[in-house]
Structure 1
Amino acid sequence: MLERFLGSQGYRRFARRATTSGKAGGYLPSENDITLDLRDLSAFRAALRVSPDEYAHLARAYTHDPARFSPASLRLARATTRAWNRVVLRLRLQSVLPSSAFAPPAFPELAQSSAALVYKPGRAASLRVWVPTRSGESWMADGEVIECEREVWRSSGAWAQLRRGDVVANVAIPAFGNVGTLVFDGKFLRDLSFEFDVVGHLPAWLNMLGFSPSHFHNIVVASSSNPVFYLSLAPYVAAVRESLSLCKDRVSVSSPQGNYLVSRYVYRAALHLLAGQIIGDAAGAGGAGPGGIEVVHPDWAGQIVVEAEGTTEAATLLLARVRPTLSLSLSSRCSLALD
Structure 2
Amino acid sequence: MLSVLIICTTIIVLATLLPLSRHPHWVIRGMDFPRLQIAIVAVVLLVVDAVLLDIQSISTLAVMGATLLCLIWQLWWILPYTVLWPKEVKSSSDIHPERQLSILTSNVLTPNRNADALIQLVRKYKPDVLVTLESDQWWEDKLSVLEAEMPYSVKCPLDNLYGMHVFSRLPLEEDEICYLVEKDVPSIHASLVLRTGDKVRVHFIHPAPPSPSENPESAERDAELVIVARSVAESDQPVIVTGDLNDVAWSATTRLFLKISGLLDPRVGRGMYNTFHASYFFLRWPLDHLFHSQHFTLRSIQRLPSIGSDHFALLTRVLFSPVQDKNQQGLTPNITDNEWSKDITQEQDVSKHDVPRPGESN
Shorter-chain TM-score tier: under 0.3
Structure having greater relative contact order (Cα 8 Å, sep ≥ 6): 2
TM-score between the two structures when normalised by the length of structure 1: 0.27
